Structures are given as structure tokens and as C-alpha cells.
Chains A and B, each alone.
Chain A
């Protein structure tokens, strides 16, 4: 059974600092997703990673995938307040049903 673990679950960051969120999954998955959720809102797609070594970047966020280690990372560069949200990773569990991690609640403060 595919399981997805994220850490940390809570992250308090100072503006301008860098940090990484980790996402481990338990069995082979052909796709890894990152989503953002603002409080009371829906999920916004950030990245879809398909292959080993895949790296995608959008603004201050960069996601990577290591399929051999079953690990994906979401790296935040020079955090700003607007990045405060909950970030979810999800692995595809066949037919693209998404198995989500618990989410990382990120708070960026001055």
C-alpha cells in the first residue's frame, strides 16, 4: 500500500531564509505532485514530477524527484510572506489516484 510522509509538518521561517520540505513515499509511483493550499481554499497545483532526477522551478520554489530513494523535495529560496500556506505532496497510486502526505504548514514571518 502506497504511503506518503512529509516532514516537517510545521515550519516557521524567517523572510529571506531558505528551507526544504521532504516527501518520502513507500512504494513505486510514476508521478509525484506538489500542491499548495491557502486556509479555507482549494488545492493549487505547483509541480508534477515524472522521472528520476526531474527538477522543476517556479519563482522561489524548486521541486526535485529521486525515484531510487523514493524522495521528493520542495526547496524554498529566500522566503517571502506570500509563500505562507500548507504544502502537500502526493504520489500517484495507479490510475492517477493521489495519495497525499499530511501537509507542511509553512509560516513566513519578518
Chain B
């Protein structure tokens, strides 16, 4: 158990709908990262938040958005869902934001994931 929690574990919805995925980082971790894992795209970085602010953005669609709240939990919102959005969505957390001059072995701890199926 990494200490990172994600809800829900499974989500089945229809095309065009909107869903919210929730992540609680490990106690004391300030950074939250979202990743998408699919068979065709592999593991892709979506977005990172550090202490409530967006820090880095990856291959995140405009239909997707995220935020990190004052209690440091994060939500990933996926809207106008398409069949191709079906994937496993992971949240990860780390103590800092990674920008420490490269000298800190900062592990990202992954949550159990949310499996999204769009029908």
C-alpha cells in the first residue's frame, strides 16, 4: 500500500458524459501527478500540481482538467467522454515538486488507479 488513495476504483459511463476522479496523496506530500495508462498509448503524464498550483502539463486533452485543493487532494475532471478515453488513470504523489536541482531521489508513489470504461 503506497498511501495514495483513489476513488472510485471502477467507473462505467457513456460517451458524452462527465466524470470526476479523486486522489488523496500520501500524508505530507505536496505534489500530485496524474497519468493515463492505455493499451495503445502506454503510460502518459497528464498534469502535475504542487501545493495547489499547476506545475507541469503533459498530453492532457482540453476536455480534461484538474485541480488540487487546499487539503492537497486532487480531482481530475473528464468531460465529453469518448470511447478512446477508456483507460486506467493513476494518481501519484511525491514529497516535493521534483525541481530540486536533480540531487534528490524523489520517488513518486502511485495510487491503485481508477479504471474508466466509456461505452
Contacts and interface: CB of A to CB of B under 8 A. Distances in A.
Contact of A96 (B31, B111, B113): B31
Interface in B28-60: 31, 33, 35, 42-45, 48, 50, 55-56, 58
Given A50-B102, A102-B42, A95 B56 contact: yes
Contacts of B99: 94-96
B108 A96 contact: yes
B33 A98 contact: yes
B11 to A, nearest CB: 15
Given A97-B58, A98-B45, A99-B45, A92 B98 contact: yes
B2 interface: yes
Contacts of B55: 95
Given A30-B102, A43-B90, A50-B105, A97 B48 contact: yes
A97 B110 CA distance: 13
Interface residues of A, number: 25
B109 A45 contact: yes
Contacts of A94: 56, 98-99
B20 interface: no
Contacts of A50: 102-103, 105
B112 interface: yes
Contacts of B94: 96
A87 interface: no
Interface string B83-117: 00000001010100111001101111111110000
